[in-house]
Each structure stands twice: as structure tokens, then as C-alpha cells.
Chains A and B, each alone.
Chain A
């Protein structure tokens, strides 16, 4: 098995080497352009004035770049007349942004924490046998839209009327939902990382006299730290970009950034400029989180190097 993998690697290296650096660069460039074109397009359109949004033929770069699409999002200064008029019907994004900044991180931390503990129980104590971990995946087996109606009924009828818990259009409502839908990912990802930790290391700590909790937090946790960060980033991205449930379960108070983005396509017209600008702004937290976590991701993915 190992020699086989080695063989493939060697073959590929030789092939790549034969291509020559220039050709390799060109190939990479073509692929990069194809993949990045939508991103470049968003970036470009976010700086375009209204006339250029639907220009025919379209232009790659804005002829007269402006910042008004961004200004209008946060109602800063006095944007150019047309843009302001066009988006005056939409809410300022401050509320949506704040909502997303609360809902996504809280749901992520909750999901990863529960997922980590569950994964530890499953892989070390065989809790739930083989069935339970598999069963958690049922939350992801149906198309999410199939859950929307029963959940709306559950949230806005049962819980509200009988238990007097308001979950529709609240932070808590979305946090609970996001935690529930991503905890299966957290469990399965963390399960993989925990199982890569040699059991003997934990047993050695136990025989040294450490309690199970101490073993979990001082021995296992540092060893799966990279995996924990990787899982956190992954779940955060899922939560940050989730659209369907946010659309169904919020109306005004708790709307999130993806919902806000969708609101620029209205009956009055399609506001491509502000929509693109908000898309760019929305990517910033993910980019920052990814950058901060990147250092730990490296340790997370080099688990094969663990010496047993």
C-alpha cells in the first residue's frame, strides 16, 4: 500500500517536472482565472456606478470606480443620488451584520464544544455503539428545505403558544438551529482527530494518576487542538453563510447577512452594486478567522506525524 502511494507520487513529480516552469505557470494562471472570475466580478461590480451594473458589453474593470456602493450599506456620508434612491427601501446592514456576528460565532462554539465532547464519548467510551454516531447524520440526510415547514410550525406554534418561548426571529432561535444542524459535522470531524491520538498516551496519564477529566483537558485537548481549530473554521463558515433557515425564521429583528444580501434583489430593481459590496464585506470575517486559524490548521493536518 505504501509503496503504491510512493509510486504514484514519484510518477506525478516526474511528469510535472517535464512540463517546465513556464508552462506550469500558464496552466495555473488559466485555472486561477476560471475559478476566480466570479470573485473578481463581485469585486469589480462593487466599485461600479449604476450605469455600469448592466452595461452591454460588460466591462471587467469599472470605468469610473466609486465607493458609494459601500457607503450606502452603512449609510455613511452622502452617496451619489441614484444609488441612494435605489436602496432607500432596504434596511441599513448594521443590524444584519451585528446579528450575524452574534449568531454565527455562538452557534459555532456551541456546536464544536458539544461535538468534541460527544466525539470523545463515542470514540473512547463507545457511547451509543455504532448506531448513534451514524444516527446524528440524519440531520443532514434530508434536504434542509424539507425541515423548514415542520420547524416553523414547531417554533412559531408549539414553543411559542404552549411554552411561551419566542424563537422565531430571535438570535436564540437561529443559534439553536445552527448548533443542531452542524453538531453532526463537529462530531464526525472531531471523532477522526480524536481517534488519531494514540490511546496509550491517555492510558499513560491515567496510570500516572490523572482523572478522566484531567486526561481529556490536559492530554487529549492539546493533541487535537489543530483539529479543533479546523472544525471551528469549517462550522463557522457554514453558519456564517447559511441562507435558507435565516430567511425562513427571521423577518426583521434577527436577519443575517446572507438574507440582507438577498434583499437587494427587489420588485423595484436589482441593486447589484450594494449587493456585491455587501458580499465583499461579508467575506472579511471569514478571511480574518481563516488567517488567525491558519497557523493551527497546519498542526491539525499533519497528524500522521504523531509518534505513538
Chain B
């Protein structure tokens, strides 16, 4: 424990209120040196506000921010030396690429010769040499992003904050620029906090992801962990596409056997009985199952999976490149199943499906927190 160095960023009880509206509520966070951290959540969840507080562009209502153990909560943004890339890049659009890149160094009164050398170095790194005399307003989006990154990089910040930098970019180019960004971060070995509402971006870029909703932290974990072990109903529903299916069930015990009941269906909970009884506040349990973990009966048998057979009617089949999304009517509820692209399932068909028992997630309907994720039925 003593060997561990203090985290680059330490946030304690951070809170931000705009007039009556609470944007961020009691946020605690540690970010390690060299980490790629993603803030993920729907718009208005407080992720950008948190980023702006770290940069010093917003003053927290309460709480503290430490940078390398030093309290910076009240430090003006000019003195924090934190790089920020804005959603729309915020270039000085009337100035040339050269002047955009040189601005931070000019402010720091770096000698002219050195500015010139360093700007050219950076321009070379970001393939901007031929554009140095171009006005920023005439650049392509990808060039703008490179200028924004280069400008930030030149001031040698302790860390980078990126606010949805790929938001306005068309899908094809987006993936390319995302890859470039990841490569850059690995080259520099510098800490980055990346704000996005795009789960795919967060999953591919982040070492860890902070999922936020309505100003609160829902979960902080690695992308794998967040996908396989969501801690709240919100995270479970937000991550994964098509989204996880949720079924409201009741926890019941009959003749010593515990199960989740819904209509005539029963899902045995096996050895999770004790956990449910310990953690759940009531008997109302939400059963979560991802579309890819619902299997047609035949396939389930082949894989040796057993469990409650759920009778369904196929309502809609949407083919994707390699998979098909199948909407299944289960009484008055529609659930989604993901099957292989060659599956012969057709609309109107009646069949039985099985929920992979190892992949089921159980949530307390009242607290919306996870009780258990993944269990095997006996």
C-alpha cells in the first residue's frame, strides 16, 4: 500500500448545482497516471460538468479535486496545466493553423525560435505541415481535430480532457480517428479523460469506464466488467446493443425450492437463494438477460443448457450483417433475441427459447441495484 504512488487525480465528494438543478452529486473518483478513463452516460448526466470542474472551467458547489496530491479546487484554470479538447474543437477560426498551435506557447512567453521549432515538430507529427498557413475555419473536420489535439499537446499538459471530440464526425471517419486517438494516447503514455455518450467508443477506448446517470455514478469498472457484471439496472440497460431484456418477476419459495416466477414460468435460482434473501429488499426481482444469451431450445440442448422453456411467437426479424435481431412476443411483453445470420427463424413462427442460466442478471426492482449476475441453476 505504501509503495503505491498517489493518484494523478483524486476527487472527493464533488458536487455541482446550477440554480435548482443538481448536475453532479457526491462524486468520488481516483484516476491513475497513464490511464485512459471514459466518462459515459446520456446527455445531461453530468459527465461534461465533471470534466469542466477538473479543468477549472466550473467551480464545484462542494467537494475537492486533487492533482498529484495537491488541492486544485480553487486554482484558476490557467494554473492547472490541464489540456482540454472541446467538442467542436474551439479553434481560433480566424487565425492560421500555425497561430492556433503557437498560441499557448506565446502566452507562456517561450522564445520565438523555440516556438517555431516546436510548432513545426507538432505539425509534422499530426501531418499538418502543408496546412500551417491555412485559416482554421477552412480546415476539414479531421484536420481540425488534429489541430485541437496538437495545440493542447504543445503546452505539455499533465493530462488531457476530451469532451466528445468525435461527435460531429461521420461514422466511417469516426472509427479511424478513434484508432488514431488510442494510438496517440499509447505513444504519449499520458492520462486522458474522455467524455462520450457512445458506449462503443467508451468500450473500445477506455481502460476504465465511469458510467453516470442524472449526476450520479452508476458504476466504475473496466469495459469487460461493465458489460458482464453491470451493477445497476441503468448500466445493464445502457450498455449493449440491442439492449438487455428485463422481466419483472417475483421471488418465491415452494417446498424448499426457490425460484423466480412470472405467469406460469419459473426460473430456479439454485444456490443464489441465500444471496437473494440477504440482499433483496422485497420479493420483486428484475431478471435481465442479454439478447445474445437467449437460445432457441434446439441450440440450448446441443450446448447442454437446461432451464425454463419459454414459449414465444416471432414478431419481427431484422437481419444484420452477421446476426439477426429477433423480436419475440412473450405474452404481452416483447423481448429481443440475437441469433446467427443463417438461422431459419421466420416471422409468425412459434417456438420455445431458453435463457442461458449462467448469463442471467438479477436486480432488486426497488433499489435497482444488482443482486447477482450469472448463476447456474441446480
Chain A interface (Cβ < 8 Å from any Cβ of B): 198, 200-201, 203-211, 214, 219, 222-223, 306-308
- Residue of B whose beta carbon sits closest to that of A204: B90
Q: Closest CB-CB distance, A20 to chain B, in whole Å?
A: 39
Q: Is the CB of B78 within 8 A of A219?
A: no
B126 within 8 A of A: no
Q: Is the CB of A223 within 8 A of B90?
A: no
B107 within 8 A of A: yes
Tell me what chain B mostly uses at the interface: helix, strand, loop, or mixed. loop
**What are 24 A-B residue pairs whose CB atoms fall within 8 Å in the complex?**
A200-B87, A200-B88, A201-B90, A201-B92, A203-B57, A203-B84, A203-B86, A203-B90, A204-B91, A204-B92, A204-B151, A205-B103, A206-B57, A207-B55, A207-B57, A207-B82, A207-B83, A207-B152, A209-B104, A209-B107, A209-B108, A211-B78, A219-B92, A307-B137
Q: Is the CB of B84 within 8 A of A207?
A: yes
Give the complex CA separation of A20 and B137 in angstroms: 39
Give the complex CA separation of A152 and B344 in angstroms: 95
Give the complex CA separation of A308 and B155 in angstroms: 22
Give the complex CA separation of A207 and B151 in angstroms: 11
Q: Is the CB of B86 within 8 A of A204?
A: yes
Nearest 10 pairs between A and B by C-beta? A200-B90, A208-B104, A204-B90, A308-B88, A200-B86, A209-B107, A207-B84, A201-B90, A210-B107, A209-B78
Known: A203-B57, A223-B94. Is A208-B88 also a contact (CB below 8 A)?
no
B137: chain A residues within 8 A (beta carbon):
307
Give the complex CA separation of A204 and B82 in angstroms: 11
Number of chain B residues close to chain A: CB under 8 A: 24
Q: Closest CB-CB distance, A289 to chain B, in whole Å?
A: 24
Q: Is the CB of B78 within 8 A of A210?
A: yes
- Residue of B whose beta carbon sits closest to that of A206: B77
Q: Closest CB-CB distance, B115 to chain A, in whole Å?
A: 13
Give the complex CA separation of A202 and B7 in angstroms: 30
A214: chain B residues within 8 A (beta carbon):
107
Give 7 A-B pairs besides A198-B88, A208-B104 with Cβ atoms closer than 8 angstroms. Answer: A200-B90, A203-B77, A204-B91, A205-B92, A207-B84, A209-B155, A210-B78
Give the complex CA separation of A219 and B90 in angstroms: 11
B107: chain A residues within 8 A (beta carbon):
205, 208-210, 214
Chain B interface (Cβ < 8 Å from any Cβ of A): 55, 57, 77-78, 81-84, 86-88, 90-94, 103-104, 107-108, 137, 151-152, 155
A306: chain B residues within 8 A (beta carbon):
93
Q: Closest CB-CB distance, B142 to chain A, in whole Å?
A: 15
B55: chain A residues within 8 A (beta carbon):
207
B87: chain A residues within 8 A (beta carbon):
200
Give the complex CA separation of A204 and B94 in angstroms: 14
Tell which of B57, B93, B94, B151 touches A208, judged by Cβ atoms closer than 8 Å: B151
- Residue of B whose beta carbon sits closest to that of A200: B90
B104: chain A residues within 8 A (beta carbon):
208-209
Give the complex CA separation of A204 and B87 in angstroms: 11
B93: chain A residues within 8 A (beta carbon):
201, 306-307
Q: Closest CB-CB distance, A300 to chain B, in whole Å?
A: 13
B84: chain A residues within 8 A (beta carbon):
203-204, 207
Give the complex CA separation of A160 and B183 in angstroms: 75
Give the complex CA separation of A223 and B93 in angstroms: 9
Give the complex CA separation of A75 and B107 in angstroms: 58
Q: Closest CB-CB distance, A218 to chain B, in whole Å?
A: 8
B152: chain A residues within 8 A (beta carbon):
207
- Residue of B whose beta carbon sits closest to that of A214: B107
B103: chain A residues within 8 A (beta carbon):
205, 208, 210
A307: chain B residues within 8 A (beta carbon):
88, 91, 93, 137
Give the complex CA separation of A211 and B87 in angstroms: 22
Q: Is the CB of A207 within 8 A of B77?
A: yes
Which residue of A201, A204, A205, A308 has the most chain B CB atoms within 10 A of its CB atom?
A204
Q: Is the CB of B90 within 8 A of A206?
A: no
Q: Closest CB-CB distance, A102 to chain B, in whole Å?
A: 34
Q: Closest CB-CB distance, A277 to chain B, in whole Å?
A: 44
- Residue of A whose beta carbon sits closest to that of B168: A308
Q: Closest CB-CB distance, A296 to chain B, in whole Å?
A: 13
B151: chain A residues within 8 A (beta carbon):
204, 208
- Residue of A whose beta carbon sits closest to that of B80: A207
Q: Closest CB-CB distance, A305 to chain B, in whole Å?
A: 8
- Residue of B whose beta carbon sits closest to that of A306: B93
B94: chain A residues within 8 A (beta carbon):
222-223
Q: Closest CB-CB distance, B94 to chain A, in whole Å?
A: 6
- Residue of A whose beta carbon sits closest to that of B154: A208
Give the complex CA separation of A209 and B157 in angstroms: 11
A200: chain B residues within 8 A (beta carbon):
86-88, 90
Give the complex CA separation of A208 and B82 in angstroms: 9
Give the complex CA separation of A214 and B108 in angstroms: 12
Give the complex CA separation of A206 and B86 in angstroms: 13
Q: Closest CB-CB distance, B345 to chain A, in whole Å?
A: 41
Q: Closest CB-CB distance, B168 to chain A, in whole Å?
A: 10
Q: Is the CB of A308 within 8 A of B90?
A: yes
A201: chain B residues within 8 A (beta carbon):
90-93
Give the complex CA separation of A223 and B94 in angstroms: 8
A209: chain B residues within 8 A (beta carbon):
78, 81, 104, 107-108, 155
Tell which of B78, B90, B155 touches A198, judged by Cβ atoms closer than 8 Å: B90
B78: chain A residues within 8 A (beta carbon):
206-207, 209-211
